[in-house]
Structure 1
């Protein structure tokens, strides 16, 4: 494997241990001790996966995760001494893909990184879903170019992550249909994703913020649907 893993951990022993195990597995591991350094790494040479501690000096892991999710769906595995359910849920709600509690087995972490790397590679290679020969989806002032993977609001391009685009594509292909959270989770994240379905709520929240004109309605106790603006 030649994927690059960014390790963000302020404990030198843990940082070096994780780095050694990942390098042994064939990954290129880049270890830093603060989220600020990790952000610089992201700007200069973005890793394919992040292994992220929560309790960091300066910017904490939650803040870093939120910042990354504004730009990308790069896989993030949180490692934390916090083992309360609320901490795990918060991490998943903010966009992490996995949560591992300290102390952990380095081999288990490597196994999770392996699975994340395979799923991410498969996701990036997957072709966009298209309906017949249609190349553009439109709903009110929103337009999706399926071939170019671009989103436009009133003719102006809006930057979206891969998952944001995929979610919007699914909803726009079948306007007015109610999708359950489980279905959206399986279709956007993949059937082997074992995180919380709250990740769906977070993704919808991000879409509503970026595209205020899009009418993604909550179907209480079930999921979401996109109201057809052409009716």
Structure 2
């Protein structure tokens, strides 16, 4: 059974799908709220939501717009559930910050497995950092990322030489702080950038990033390896 404190928001304009997911989640011990549009999501987010399942193709407001709005204010796990099979929609959803993606028709056991996995990666609610919006400047532990100028500055204010791939990867981690990202997630999120990431290239980029931002790259404090899972960016101070 799921831990009682986990609260899932089901966002879908199909009554049958919402009822099915509610029954499935409640049978596993989750608390469940429902919404069909942006207004419903905003009302629900005033509470203690732990995860959102979000239909990409809502009647009034599309799911991508809702996902963008959520990401600007909350570091909240999002699983997109949709009938669309277009890979472009999947990539855009992941770039916005969705944690997983399930296409309809789906099996409820698969949905539950993905919900459990995403909640495990997200960690306890008390440990989650506020979301970093898609702004032009991100600060962390004395460093500054200027997204528009594509520059990284160190605690002393001096510009640090960084490749395009390293910069894209660091921005990705800064916008998903204190969350474990697998290599597959990183590759999905970086598709469409000016480099073609793969397992090897990601590991190499992370090794080089550590030399730029860690006091001791052999004992990383900011960009940690989560054995068997992926990587997590864990700054003490993060400002959008």
The TM-score with structure 2 as length reference comes to: 0.60
- Structure 2: tracts of 5 or more residues without a match: 145-152, 155-159, 198-204, 214-240
Q: Secondary structure at the match of 2:185?
A: coil
Q: Secondary structure at the match of 1:55?
A: coil
The match for 1:18 among 14, 17, 21 is: 21
Cα contact 1:4–1:27 (8 A) shared by 2: yes
Q: For the residues of structure 1 that align with 2:75 and 2:191, how far apart are their CA atoms?
A: 15
CA shift in 2, pair 1:88/1:170, >3 Å: farther
Alpha-carbon RMSD: 3.8
Query: How far did 1:33 drift?
Result: 2.4
Q: For the residues of structure 2 that align with 1:89 and 1:125, how far apart are their CA atoms?
A: 28
Query: How far did 1:199 drift?
Result: 3.7
Task: Look up the match of 2:143.
Answer: 172
Which structure 2 residues correspond to residues 179-194 of structure 1 after superposition, within 5 A?
Answer: 179=166, 188=177, 189-192=179-182, 194=184
Cα contact 2:10–2:32 (8 A) shared by 1: yes
Cα contact 1:181–1:197 (8 A) shared by 2: no
2:64 maps to 1:62: yes
Query: How far did 1:192 drift?
Result: 3.5
CA deviations 1:126-181 (Å, max 9, x no partner) are 8xxxxxxxxxxxxxxxxxxxxxx8xxxxxxxxxx62698xx742782983263375
Q: For the residues of structure 2 that align with 1:111 and 1:177, how far apart are their CA atoms?
A: 42
Task: Look up the match of 1:208.
Answer: none
Cα contact 1:35–1:59 (8 A) shared by 2: yes
Task: Look up the match of 1:155.
Answer: none
Task: Look up the match of 2:109.
Answer: 107
Q: Secondary structure at the match of 1:195?
A: helix
Cα contact 2:53–2:79 (8 A) shared by 1: yes
Task: Look up the match of 2:148.
Answer: none
Task: Look up the match of 2:217.
Answer: none
Task: Look up the match of 2:36.
Answer: 33
2:11 maps to 1:8: yes
Q: Secondary structure at the match of 2:143?
A: helix
Task: Look up the match of 1:95.
Answer: 97
- Structure 1: tracts of 5 or more residues without a match: 127-148, 150-159, 203-217
Query: How far did 1:109 drift?
Result: 0.7
* Runs of at least 4 residues off by over 6 Å: 222-225
Q: How many residues align?
A: 176
CA shift in 2, pair 1:171/1:119, >3 Å: farther
CA deviations 1:21-59 (Å, max 9, x no partner) are 1111111011222232112211x2141100000111221
Task: Look up the match of 1:72.
Answer: 74
The TM-score with structure 1 as length reference comes to: 0.62
Q: For the residues of structure 1 that align with 2:111 and 2:54, how far apart are their CA atoms?
A: 12
